[in-house]
Structure 1
Amino acid sequence: MKTVAVLLFPDFLLLDMAGPIEVFSIANRYLDSADHYQISVVGTEQTAIRASCGVAVQADQFIDQAPDAFDLLLVPGGPGAYNGDHSAFRPWLMRAAQQSTRYGAICTGAFILGKAGLLDGHRVTTHWHYIERLIACCPKAEVCSDQIFIHDGKLLTSGGVTAGIDLALSIVAEDHGKKVALDVAKVLLVVMTRQGGQAQFSPLVASVAAQQSPVTVVQNYVLEHLEEEFTIERMASLATMSSRHFARVFAREVKMTPMEFLQSARIDKARSVLESTDWPLKTIAHRSGFGSVRHMRFLFGEKLGLTPSQYRKQFG
């Protein structure tokens, strides 16, 4: 029997707790009793703990009475994860994470692990909206933005909210085989393997900085004229810089090359149109600057793991 514990704190996200717990609970229906997951909720407060949605949950045990080791210890996300004070329970968490077989975070629970130094030296992820914030918070971690979940040794992290279900399914598959995990996925009406990663949901191009600089001038011009043809030389001329100097400055300020920015901006534009119109793909490819449906389809597959038609079916 494997022990699974979820650590609760004020202002946690209820679905981050309930999603993975339901996966393990349903898995028990398909397992021999000796192989069951023994699920418990550990509270950082002795009273019922209120989730961000207002629901109060009574934990099974307070951290002072809880074991220091589990087969799996999970920390959910929520506003309390990235805005709360975790100093009171951090020593217990650090000790329990080190002694548990596996530990991890659902969604923004990564911030709690990160502030305890438990992400340092690992590949990790979190909800796409908080990627930049986690990078700033945990400079010693390798933060990835394009994956639903990541297993890195004994550390497990996942993207936004329902990605906790994906992570839990992957753990069941690892523990008891793909068939059991697939049976659980069917009960929950979810797919075992999602097409693509978090890039499907997140903008590939971050908001352009408000201050005017040669680079932001070029960025804004590109965003407003995506149907035009662009080369490094043309963008450099808009910034009144040499091509080599412009490419260096752009990459330093934007964290991607000028051509990567252009491609990502075109994909974002096409995604927006696919979500909001029934225009033919040929029209969307032209308006977004791809030149052809074939080129648009190739870049969608490379960046999002979906074709434009699949994207429209899923999000349109």
Structure 2
Amino acid sequence: MRESAHKTVVMVLFNDMLMLDVTGPMDVFSISNRLLPEHQHYRLLTVSEHQTLVRSSCGLKVQADMTLKDLPAGTDLLLVPGGPGAYGVAHPGLTAWLPTAVKGARRFGAICTGAFLLGDAGLLDGYRCTTHWNYVERLAQRNPGSRVETEQIYVIDRNLITSGGITAGIDMALAVVAEDHGKDIALEVAKVLLVVMKRQGGQTPYGPLLAAVPRDDTAIARVQAYIVDHIEEPFTVQRMAELAAMSTRNFARAFQREVNLTPMQYVLNARIDHSRKLLEGSDLPLKVIACRCGFGSARHMRKAFSERIGLTPNQYRQQFGGD
């Protein structure tokens, strides 16, 4: 008789979770079961603090299979989804339970902002991890003992696996299937789901490189606003210092201290962000966009774009542009 090789995947449920964070990875494992021999199937379970209907952020309700205290031994992968309920609400019962549950699991992880719950439970210290691009800075501030990666779609560090925003949970689950059963099975699952096995560019193409420009009357803020409003112009550190009415040396130090970027890094990111808007919303030729964004040439824009975003301008337009 063949020995069973079932792997138990447990998804934690709580109010205001993102439904796609739950169903995306779980469907990856479910579809894998269609392609695997029965003795290698994933066993899929859901748990919640109280075995009542759990309301997701979109309003759909889910009935968990069991309560936290009834979790059986032998969990292979314990996952926590994200959503407003993960980073905006305290879950003392869940975060008290998680460390013990993780000790009994071979692997554990989080989809999207579910990483905040792992952090609240003290489970990110000493690990590399990631979350949705819009929340990486907040996660890093709340968990100084971890190393939050900003660009990866998912991060695997020993027995912890975390993913970027929402649909990145599918990428993460495909990586788990590839590790468990080989790339060929994972590729077939990806084809069924109409997704690629490996996205180009990580999370970087999805979010702006710069935060909203402050519009106050400080010297550094005035320079930031001027750069964004006159992005087609050439800039040097000396010229920016003159705009701030400061010496070049003092300006460069003050700018990096306040913005966490050098002045020229800020200019480059501003140029790239503006070019992305034009690529998304217009059919202007690349040389025109390069000129309007201050790159000087399409070749220079392509080089900067590829190095910073991980895509060429044409690839970015194909992925994010309109019809």
- The TM-score normalised by the length of structure 2 is 0.95
CA RMSD of aligned residues (A): 1.2
Deviations 1:256-302 (A, max 9, x none): 11111111110100000111111111100000111100011111111
* 1:306 equivalent in structure 2: 311
What amino acid does structure 1 have at the position aligned with 2:154? F
Alignment of 1:1-316 (within 5 A): 1-67=6-72, 70-316=75-321
What amino acid does structure 2 have at the position aligned with 1:261? Y
* Equivalent residues of 1:68, 1:92 under 8 A apart: no
* Equivalent residues of 2:17, 2:84 under 8 A apart: yes
Percent sequence identity over matched residues? Answer: 56
Deviation of 1:69 after TM superposition, in Å, equals 5.1
2:208 alignment partner, SS class: coil
Provide the C-alpha distance between the structure 2 equivalents of 1:112 and 1:34, rounded to a whole number of angstroms: 33
1:132 alignment partner, SS class: helix
What amino acid does structure 2 have at the position aligned with 1:213? T
Alpha-carbon spacing, 1:140–1:210, altered in 2? closer, same or farther (3 Å): farther
* Equivalent residues of 2:130, 2:152 under 8 A apart: yes
Deviations 1:186-230 (A, max 9, x none): 000000010101110100011123443221111111111111111
* Equivalent residues of 2:79, 2:110 under 8 A apart: yes
Alpha-carbon spacing, 1:141–1:211, altered in 2? closer, same or farther (3 Å): farther
Bigger mean CA offset, 158-167 vs 129-138: 129-138
Bigger mean CA offset, 89-98 vs 152-161: 89-98
* Equivalent residues of 1:11, 1:51 under 8 A apart: yes
Provide the C-alpha distance between the structure 2 equivalents of 1:259 and 1:315, rounded to a whole number of angstroms: 26
2:268 alignment partner, SS class: helix
1:174 alignment partner, SS class: helix
Q: Alignment length, in residue pairs?
A: 316
* Equivalent residues of 1:49, 1:58 under 8 A apart: yes
Bigger mean CA offset, 140-149 vs 5-14: 140-149
* 2:3 equivalent in structure 1: none
Bigger mean CA offset, 63-72 vs 172-181: 63-72
1:88 alignment partner, SS class: helix
Deviation of 1:241 after TM superposition, in Å, equals 2.1
Deviation >6 Å, runs of 4+: none
Provide the C-alpha distance between the structure 1 equivalents of 2:252 and 2:104, rounded to a whole number of angstroms: 47
Structure 1: runs of 5 or more not aligned: none
* Equivalent residues of 1:68, 1:95 under 8 A apart: no
Deviation of 1:20 after TM superposition, in Å, equals 0.1
Provide the C-alpha distance between the structure 2 equivalents of 1:122 and 1:258, rounded to a whole number of angstroms: 32
Provide the C-alpha distance between the structure 2 equivalents of 1:210 and 1:112, rounded to a whole number of angstroms: 34
What amino acid does structure 2 have at the position aligned with 1:300? F
Alpha-carbon spacing, 1:46–1:38, altered in 2? closer, same or farther (3 Å): same
* Equivalent residues of 1:69, 1:97 under 8 A apart: no
Deviation of 1:254 after TM superposition, in Å, equals 1.1
Bigger mean CA offset, 88-97 vs 55-64: 88-97
Bigger mean CA offset, 5-14 vs 120-129: 120-129
What amino acid does structure 1 have at the position aligned with 2:27? E
What amino acid does structure 2 have at the position aligned with 1:311? Y
* Equivalent residues of 1:208, 1:216 under 8 A apart: yes
